[in-house]
Chain A
């Protein structure tokens, strides 16, 4: 089992460019999440999907959109990247309230 996979691992964007971060899990989990991690800020929830076909905003959703493509895949889109979106992005999945499994992260720099 690969667990949670994320692509790409690194990305550099110019202000105003768009991109989609991809996430997939092979554990048959219902819930999936997108977080951003910034120094001194911990992990902040951007969006989550409690089950296939549903998505909800987290703590910091502005500037992002998500798509729960199917049970396995949950993508995060930046329509017009800004320097404030420079961060490390983590995708996670869980079956229940108990444990979230995280991917290896995508390091995004917006210049």
Chain B
């Protein structure tokens, strides 16, 4: 039972372009939505996160857009750089529980 659906599975973007990764969730109790970034051979690391009381959060070139009614959230990477090439995972959790449910991941490749 996959509670967080992530798309696309892979993405190729030219340097300077916008990368967009989408996630949809089913559990309306989820109230914390982080994105993790993973480089080859490394463990995932928190990139940016949002709570459902706001519709957008921006940190540098990374923005999360959140649509509570549609139960969807997305990661936008502006001015994508080759150094952004990595696998990105969306995730969700509820209440004070620190268990995360992860999406299946998106492998992003930024070309020159």
Contact = CB atoms under 8 A, between A and B. Distances in A.
Nearest to A6: B43
A100 B47 CA distance: 11
Nearest to B34: A99
B73 interface: no
Contacts, number: 56
Interface in A55-111: 58, 90, 92, 94, 96-105
B44 A90 contact: yes
A44 B43 CA distance: 14
B12 interface: no
A4 B45 CA distance: 12
A41 B6 CA distance: 11
Which of B9, B89, B104 has most chain A Cβ within 10 Å? B104
Chain A: interface residue count, which band? 20 to 34
Interface in A1-52: 4, 31, 33, 40-45, 48, 50
A104 B32 CA distance: 24
Contacts of A43: 44, 89, 100, 102, 105
Interface stretch (B58-66, B74-82, B91-99): B91-99
Contacts of B102: 42-44
Contact of A48 (B44, B45, B99): B99
B34 A58 contact: no
Given A4-B43, A42-B6, A90-B44, 18 more contacts: A31-B98, A33-B99, A40-B9, A40-B105, A41-B104, A42-B102, A43-B44, A43-B89, A43-B102, A43-B105, A44-B102, A94-B98, A96-B98, A97-B98, A98-B49, A102-B45, A103-B43, A105-B43
Q: Sort A-B residue pairs by CB-CB distance and give the 10 closest, nearest first.
A: A102-B43, A42-B104, A43-B102, A42-B102, A97-B98, A99-B46, A102-B44, A42-B105, A31-B98, A94-B98
Interface of B: 6, 9, 32, 34, 41-46, 49, 89, 93, 95-105
Interface of A: 4, 31, 33, 40-45, 48, 50, 58, 90, 92, 94, 96-105
